[in-house]
Structure 1
Amino acid sequence: MTMTTTAPPRFRILDGAFADELVRATTSPTCAPTRVGRRMHPHAPIGHPSRPRKLCFGGCRHPLTSTYQAHPDNLAKHLGLDYARSSALLRKGVQLALDAAPDKQVAVSMGSYGATLADGSEYTGAFVDELGADALPALTAFHQLRLQAFGWGGQGVLDKVQYLAFETVPSVVEVRAILAAVSQFFAPIDGSAARPRVWISLTCCSATETGAGDPIDLVAREIHAAGHLVGINYSQCRGSNPEIVVYPNKGQRWDAVARNWIAGSGMDDDNYAQVAVQEWIVPFGPLVVGGCCQTTPETVAALVRARQVMQRGNEVLCVYQT
């Protein structure tokens, strides 16, 4: 008789939802288009740096910035800022994370086009049809402008971070726009310079399709072929088949009209961690596991406990999400 043993899957842990914690800690409305930007506004009190400090002191390694919905265009629309001031505000969002966690590796939340509209289209990709034949160039220009606003070298901040996270992306068209924008942004930069890793997290309506109905395997292959990481975020937790990074919500659905969470299959923290182990980690072995909407630091603690049962000594990764 031959006895064999299998090492438990190795995985790292992200944190939970930033915006939900921001709402708990402040009076910011859940769905304000620039709720994070307003908290970073030069004339507003800045209350959220305690959040990354709290998480990092708890063992997290990679805080992700609170810039998910912020873009020069919507900062101009909602806060009346010109490009120079909105760019400075975006860079300030990154600097807050760098200052709060000076010994950690920071990821910049690059968000998605739909997230800046605050109409729920980051989950469906409806904006692709609305943009029509101009969708690809328009989305490429959108992401180029955001990358340029954060900047590289000098007053820029992207040379100080380790990851760029494009999140809640529902459509292969936007994925292709992101790939083009990233390639164009880094093209003139010295090839010997250390560049942040890029991941693109998809929203999904099923185990096989993105929010816009594109085949996940097709989209994942395009991201992988460009040398970047693939993720799944926001999606309801059951049915996810992650490639690299997975951070779904706790089962609730968002009503974009009523602007609230619909009671449904939401689960408690320990059940969430159990699903993570049994349905994602063991069958598929994702590299990074965490949570999106309605998850909390307590959800992260439940994931940590579940991992401790499985193994010892893995690095703990925290990504700071809205």
Structure 2
Amino acid sequence: MDRRCLDPFLQEAGVVILDGALATELERRGANLDDPLWSARILLEAPELIRQVHYDYFCAGADVAITASYQATFEGFARRGLSREQAEELLLLSVRLAQEARDLFWADPANRQGRIRPLVAASIGPYGAYLADGSEYRGDYGLSVEALMDFHRPRMAVLAASGADLLACETIPCQAEGEALVRLLAEFPQAVAWLSFSCCDDLHVCHGEPFARCVRLASRSEQVIAVGLNCTPPRHVEALLRHAVGVTDRPLVAYPNSGETWDAEHHCWVAGSGETDFRTPALRWYAAGARLIGGCCRTTPADIQAMAQVLRHRSQV
């Protein structure tokens, strides 16, 4: 992994376009994710669908594909009766699928026009994703920093050596887990990562600690090459970024969810309750300091295409 892997994008375009939702996009295409493994289930059942989604995001303008390893853990696979060796192979498969999609995209000379060869970021989701109970949006684990390091260590070891360009430590809801990941990175000195927190309002990560404090903590590590937020309602993004600008010299990351409301009674998303056009919001996030910009849950390749178009042609907007 190269600590300068983001530099060519930032130097040429001033921005890195991230991809959008993987799990909810798989669902939109007919995949059944009603499973504690969530998107990792598709690694077992339909890996070619994951590859296609990655490819479609590259075609939409994404500079980075985030792998289907967010909810892929040794513990989660063990509950399904898979051996440690099988679980490791599935983690590596998540990276290979993104690499194959990237290589297929890049093999077409037409796709290289005005583009830099895209990157693959291996996703490391929070402890709460393994629990599959929504606690990645609460962070109330009751675990020590050391216990969280022990949980993340085996997966980070595999993904750090997977051939991915960097790690995406994402949807981190609390300061303790952020500290655990920062400390753990030091055990894998060849690895670089971005670290992004899930936030609940204009000031705080989901567990309640100040976002700016978490950003400052993450920035202590030279291996953290970008820091910010993801899977956060879009309405909070600008304020959170402005709190982060003064406490870090790293590029800021912002890939919020769609902001839609979940109707628990009818088990569906409320149509029209979130962002329907990400062009103007993406420009506002850039103006507020974000340099890695994309989407999380419920965003689509069309949303990433809209962001890519306006962000790469900012002076014309």
* TM-score (normalizing by structure 2): 0.80
Q: What amino acid sits opposite 1:218 in the alignment? A: R
- Give the CA deviation at 1:214: 0.4
- Give the CA deviation at 1:199: 0.9
- 1 or 2, which has the higher helix percentage? 2
Question: Within 5 Å, which residues of 2 pair with 1:37-186?
Answer: 37-41=40-44, 46-77=48-79, 79-102=80-103, 103=106, 104-127=118-141, 129=142, 131=143, 135-150=144-159, 152=161, 157=162, 160-186=163-189
Q: CA separation in 1, counterparts of 2:207 and 2:263?
A: 17
Structure having the higher Rg: 1
Tell me if structure 2 keeps the 8 A contact 1:144–1:185: no
Structure with more contact order per residue of length (Cα contacts < 8 Å, sep ≥ 6): 1
Change (3 A) 1:273 1:59: closer
Q: CA separation in 1, counterparts of 2:129 and 2:279?
A: 27
Change (3 A) 1:256 1:198: farther
- In structure 1, the partner of 2:304 is 300
Tell me how many residue pairs correspond in the alignment.
278
- Give the CA deviation at 1:303: 1.2
Q: CA separation in 2, counterparts of 1:28 and 1:101?
A: 25
Q: What amino acid sits opposite 2:281 in the alignment? A: V
Secondary structure in structure 2 of the residue aligned to 1:305: helix
The answer for unaligned runs of 5 or more in structure 1 is 1-8, 187-194, 313-322
Secondary structure in structure 2 of the residue aligned to 1:213: coil
Tell me if structure 2 keeps the 8 A contact 1:72–1:149: no
| Identical counterparts, % of pairs | 33
RMSD over aligned Cα atoms: 2.3
- Give the CA deviation at 1:82: 1.4
- In structure 1, the partner of 2:221 is 226
Q: Deviations over 1:3-30 (max 9, x none)?
A: xxxxxx932322211111111223313x
Q: Does 1:198 align with 2:207?
A: no
* TM-score (normalizing by structure 1): 0.79
Change (3 A) 1:309 1:99: closer
- Give the CA deviation at 1:162: 1.5
Q: What amino acid sits opposite 2:275 in the alignment? A: M
Q: CA separation in 2, counterparts of 1:264 and 1:225?
A: 40
- Give the CA deviation at 1:44: 5.3
Secondary structure in structure 1 of the residue aligned to 2:234: coil
Q: CA separation in 2, counterparts of 1:87 and 1:216?
A: 33
Q: What amino acid sits opposite 2:308 in the alignment? A: V
Change (3 A) 1:263 1:57: closer
- From 21, 28, 32, give the equivalent of 2:25: 21
